[in-house]
Structure 1
Amino acid sequence: MTERYKIEVSATTEYLEHESEPERDRYAFAYTITIVNRGLVAAKLISRHWIITDANGHEQQVRGEGVVGEQPRLNPNEGFRYTSGVVLDTPIGAMQGSYQMLAEDGTKFDASIAPFSLANRRLVH
């Protein structure tokens, strides 16, 4: 049986060479997130919580309303995609977190974002 509240999150990343300055330990990355409502109830993305870790183990947490200025409402099997960015002090890092969701029936739940890596592939071979 399908779960009432189920959000699927996937990510792709890209190293932004033209926005990075390795000589200053500044590595820029874009990440594209795809969110799909696999549940049975429409839900709105209320807020986000990111945990971003660089290769030195330095962690930063980011919390805020919505994503890219929006709080998308997703009907069952509907998706939303957005691209954002992050700057690290190292050429390798990782992100993970969660979206706080509000279902149409008033239920609040979290949609977890599995860890994904950020890497300047040219520097990590």
Structure 2
Amino acid sequence: MYSQTTQAICVTVQPIYLEDQSSPAEGHYVWAYQVRIENQGNRTVQLRRRHWRITDARGRTQEVRGDGVVGEQPVLRPGESFEYTSGTPLPTPSGIMVGSYTMESEAGEMFDIGIPAFSLDSPHEAVRLN
């Protein structure tokens, strides 16, 4: 698991290689990633936007931006958490993802929190640090 805390918001990510959805012979590799966002602070916040930077083993980078996550913009009161699962395909057997969420406080303050960089590794390539 990979974890990062920014302004009392802890983001934990667990990537999972999906063998049944991947086709290595065709250069198609798929991962799910489970995310937990926990408000460890004392103010209520809402997740407004996401930004991902996905880099494959050849160094090609794709940026993904959008509102919320999995169609939601969850509100997190102090001590609450939100979990979701999403996924990404790559044309290579490994890669790396990193990103940020834009949060909004009840007072209307917008701020970014980090999503930890995490490695996407398949059993079709020797494990290496991305």
What is the CA-CA distance between 1:122 and the residue it aligns to? 4.7
Residue 6 of structure 1 aligns with which residue?
A: 8
In structure 2, the CA distance between the partners of 1:78 and 1:102, relative to structure 1 (3 Å rule), is same
Question: Which residue in the other structure is 1:51 paired with?
Answer: 53
Change (3 A) 1:122 1:25: closer
3-state DSSP class of the match of 2:20?
helix
Does the C-alpha gap of structure 1 residues 47 and 77 become closer, same or farther in structure 2, counting only changes over 3 Å?
same
Q: Which residue of 1 aligns with 2:121?
A: 119
CA contact (8 A) 2:93 2:124 kept: no
Letter in 2 for 1:51: R
The counterpart of 1:90, out of the listed 89, 92, 100, is 92
Structure 1, unaligned runs of 5 or more: none
> Which residue is equivalent to 2:67?
65
Instruction: Give the structure-1-normalised TM-score.
Output: 0.93
Structure 1 consecutive aligned stretches of length 4 or more whose deviation exceeds 4 Å: none
Q: Distance in 2 between matches of 1:85 and 1:40?
A: 31
The aligned counterpart of 1:108 is: 110
Task: Please tell me whether the aligned partners of residues 6 and 111 of structure 1 are also in contact (alpha carbons under 8 angstroms).
Answer: no
Give the residue type in structure 1 aligned to 2:85. Answer: T
Alignment length (residue pairs):
121
Paired-residue identity, %: 48
Matched residue, 2:30: 28
Q: CA deviation at 1:38?
A: 1.4
Q: Is the Cα–Cα contact under 8 Å of residues 24 and 124 in structure 2 kept in the other structure?
A: no
Superposed displacement of residue 121, structure 1: 3.0
For residues 58-80 of structure 1, the C-alpha deviation after alignment (integer angstroms, 9 at most, x for no partner) is 00000000000000000011100
Give unmatched runs, 5+ long, in structure 2: 1-6
